[in-house]
Amino acid sequence: MSRAIRIEPSILSADFVNMESELQRIATADAVHVDVMDNHFVPNLTFGPQMVKRVQAVSPVPLDVHLMITDADRWAPGYAELGAFSVTFHAEAATDPLALAAALRERGSRAGIALKPGTPADEVIAHLDAYDQVLVMTVEPGFGGQGFMDDMLDKIAVVRAAIDAAGTDTWLQVDGGISTSTIARAYAAGADTFVAGSSVYGADDPVAAIASLRDAAHA
């Protein structure tokens, strides 16, 4: 396989008190995954636009903002206006995903759509040209450190087959339980963009951890 391998450490596993230095520790990553949670869509609370704006100002790599919030139609465009490279909203939280994706692109961000483990991919793969990224959650969203759900591999494969058939340049991202022991299975199923939290920030050397993930994807 010759697909790209993109590694995006999640700052959900970083030290929030020392965020600027934590971002510098992952300068070899392809992007930083920024989890925005509102304690409504998921049972956890992280931060909002002000924090994302500051992360944007000091990050050495692009921001991939993952919105785990209700009323995505209202709030997601504002994150694109902050300059985020990519903004991903949940299919379950948007009333008009196609219009929202278009609004994100109009504001200069890549448009991503995320699927919880229990959400089928049918509606998303029917409109792949509308999305720059599809995120298949490989854990239930809300908390880091969960185990990879192998039963999501079939969904990843379905989305990959649809992307290849459509001929779109849509990235296929997975988030949840990604480590050197799971990334190869996700890559083999079709993913090309990998969110890794504790496996990077829990390591003594995040740069080495990022390199190990890249290598392990081909294993």
Q: If you average pLDDT over residues 168-177, what whole number do you get?
A: 96
H or E element, residue 2: none
> Please, are residues 113 and 172 in contact by the beta-carbon 8 Å criterion?
no
* Count of structural domains, the chain: 1
Residue 111 lies in a domain: yes
Please name which of 91, 176, 165, 177 lies closest in space to residue 134, comparing C-alpha atoms.
Answer: 91
Which pLDDT tens digit goes with each residue over 100-136? Answer: 999 999 999 999 999 999 999 998 999 999 999 999 9
Catalytically annotated residue among 35, 38, 64, 132: 35
- What integer pLDDT is reported at residue 40 of this predicted model? 87
- Whether 129 sits among the annotated catalytic residues: the reply is no
Asked if residue 42 is part of any domain, the answer here is yes
Residue 138 pLDDT: 94
> Domain limits at 78?
6-217
Any domain includes 85: yes
pTM above 0.85, yes or no: yes
Res. 44 pLDDT band, cuts 50 70 90: confident
| Percent of the chain's residues with pLDDT above 90 | 89
Active site residue 175: yes
- Residue 102 inside a domain? The answer is yes
In eight-state DSSP terms, residue 16 is G
Is 143 inside a domain boundary? yes
**Which is the catalytic residue, given 64, 132, 175, 192?**
175
CATH number at residue 192: 3.20.20.70
Flag whether 1 is in a domain: no
